[in-house]
Amino acid sequence: MQRGFLSQYFEGVAIKRLSAVEVNTSVSNQHEFNGSKPLRNLFGEDRISHEARFLWLAGENEGFSCEGHLTWYDARENHPTRTEYRLYFKSNDVMDQAREADMLIVAKRPDGEIYMILVPSGSTLESQLLWLFGVDQVSFNFNFQAIEDGHDPEVDFAVRYILEEMGIVIEEHDSDYLGAILEPFLDGGFPSTSVFSDLARRTIRDVSPYEEPDQTLLKWIEQEEKLFKRLERHIVAKRLETGFLDDGNTDVEGFIQFSLSVHNRRKSRVGYALENHLEEIFKAHNLTYSRTAVTENKSKPDFLFPHINNYRDMTFPESRLTMLGVKSTCKDRWRQVLAEANRINNKHLFTLEPGISENQTDEMQANHLQLVLPKRLHDTYKPRQQSWLIDLSSFIQLAKERQ
């Protein structure tokens, strides 16, 4: 195990596509997989029986998890020469979602915990997990991938993003340093997003928004994410200590409202933070722009170049107009950008989401939407997709030329 690398979170994985006989209850009621060599590499030779975490990862607000039971055993353990290993699981809500050709990942963590991860075929999450675990092709037979002795990427922005999609908490190694930065805010509530974004930028060194805009943006975003989660833990812990009581009774509704506020703050803050950091980079490059200016049907594109006045001037050439939508994660919400800024046919969308599926990027291209993301995240996409992607530096150059 290496701290700060994927091996800190997983020892190895076995990956396959599910066949009809494994998912169709009208064909079979089996709840087990044949113990092929890849599974034996993962579990070994001894009988194992314990709880496991089952995950159904199916896009924004659609995934869920449950606890389940697994048994790894040799069905012919008393036979003198033959073995017949099997991985048995009890029926549960996650595995009931399985369809033929969906991807199943059996993943073992360093503490022995087993994750059973089910992902829809052809989805973005499938692309992201295959990249994370360094697997190119998936068949209807298990394929084993060791982590530490094989594919063991550093936990950078992309790895962190995918691990968090699985609900895995990332350990921070610079907690004392982060605590010192946040000390002025510990006795109050959350500062505004603009204040917090400025704090992240001021506490990161060795960056250059002009010379290295792609790398700088990711460092700013990573720093703000670390600071936010550190402060969030502090504020939430203090609130939980006070408890949730209403006239001496447990205030369930109060607790639910507090939980929702925490969740909503997380979601809204990331988008605003990304826009704030992009704006600072555009300023460093002396770009002129309008942020969230109103266009047709009360739409508010995140950024218009060179200016909203140029957009409203019908004599200004459309070929010199540029629109950039900003979404930290695309999911299915990228289509919202298509309805903004009608004068601009070929639109741009900036995102931080790694490994979006080919189905989605093909649809973006068909709708004249160009995806923009930091150069370091391009490697999470397949080669055919990478030839179409552009990075932040290239987008800035395009806006400058049109300006």
pLDDT digits (tens, 9 = 90+) for 296-342: 989 999 999 999 999 999 999 999 999 999 999 888 789 999 999 99
What's the rounded Cα separation, in Å, for the pair 372 and 390?
5
Summarize pLDDT for 101-123 with one digit per residue, the tens.
Answer: 999 999 999 988 999 999 999 99
Say which amino acid occupies 191: P
Sign of CA dihedral 270, 153, 124, 349: positive
The residue extents of the domains of the chain are 6-166, 176-281, 290-402
Burial class (CB in 10 A: 0-12, 13-18, 19+), 7: buried
Sign of CA dihedral 329, 211, 397, 342: positive
CATH architecture for residues 176-281: 3-Layer(aba) Sandwich (3.40)
187-203: buried (b, 16+ CB within 10 Å) or exposed (e) per residue? eeeeeebeebbbbbbeb
Q: Which long-range contacts link 182-185 to residues 24+ away (Cβ below 8 Å)?
A: 182/227, 182/230, 182/231, 182/234, 185/231
How sure is the predictor about 174, in pLDDT bands with cuts at 50, 70 and 90?
Answer: low
Predicted local confidence at residue 227, as pLDDT: 84
Best-predicted range by mean pLDDT among 44-48, 190-194, 201-205? 201-205
What's the rounded Cα separation, in Å, for the pair 361 and 192?
34
What is the separation of C-alpha 71 from the centre of its chain, rounded to a whole number of angstroms?
31
**CATH match for 6-166 among 1.10.3470, 2.40.50, 2.40.330, 1.10.3720:** 2.40.330
The domain defined by 290-402 folds into Restriction Endonuclease (3.40.91)
What's the rounded Cα separation, in Å, for the pair 109 and 96?
24
Q: Is the pLDDT of residue 201 over 80?
A: yes
Question: Bridge-partner residues for 73, per DSSP?
Answer: 86
What's the rounded Cα separation, in Å, for the pair 395 and 348?
9
Say which amino acid occupies 379: D
Q: What angle do CA 387, 392, 397 make, to 5 degrees?
A: 95
Instruction: Report which of residues 24 and 345 the model is more confident about.
Output: 345
Q: Is the pLDDT of residue 184 over 90?
A: no
What's the rounded Cα separation, in Å, for the pair 272 and 197?
9
Strand (E) or helix (H) holding 323: strand 322-327
Residue whose C-alpha is closest to residue 347's, from 319, 333, 320, 368: 368
Question: Bridge-partner residues for 86, per DSSP?
Answer: 34, 73
Give percent above pLDDT 90 in the chain. Answer: 55
Summarize pLDDT for 66-97 with one digit per residue, the tens.
Answer: 999 899 988 887 777 788 888 998 888 999 89
Summarize pLDDT for 240-297 with one digit per residue, the tens.
Answer: 777 877 767 777 787 778 777 777 777 778 888 999 999 999 999 999 999 999 999 8
Predicted local confidence at residue 30, as pLDDT: 59
Do the domains 176-281 and 6-166 match in fold?
A: no
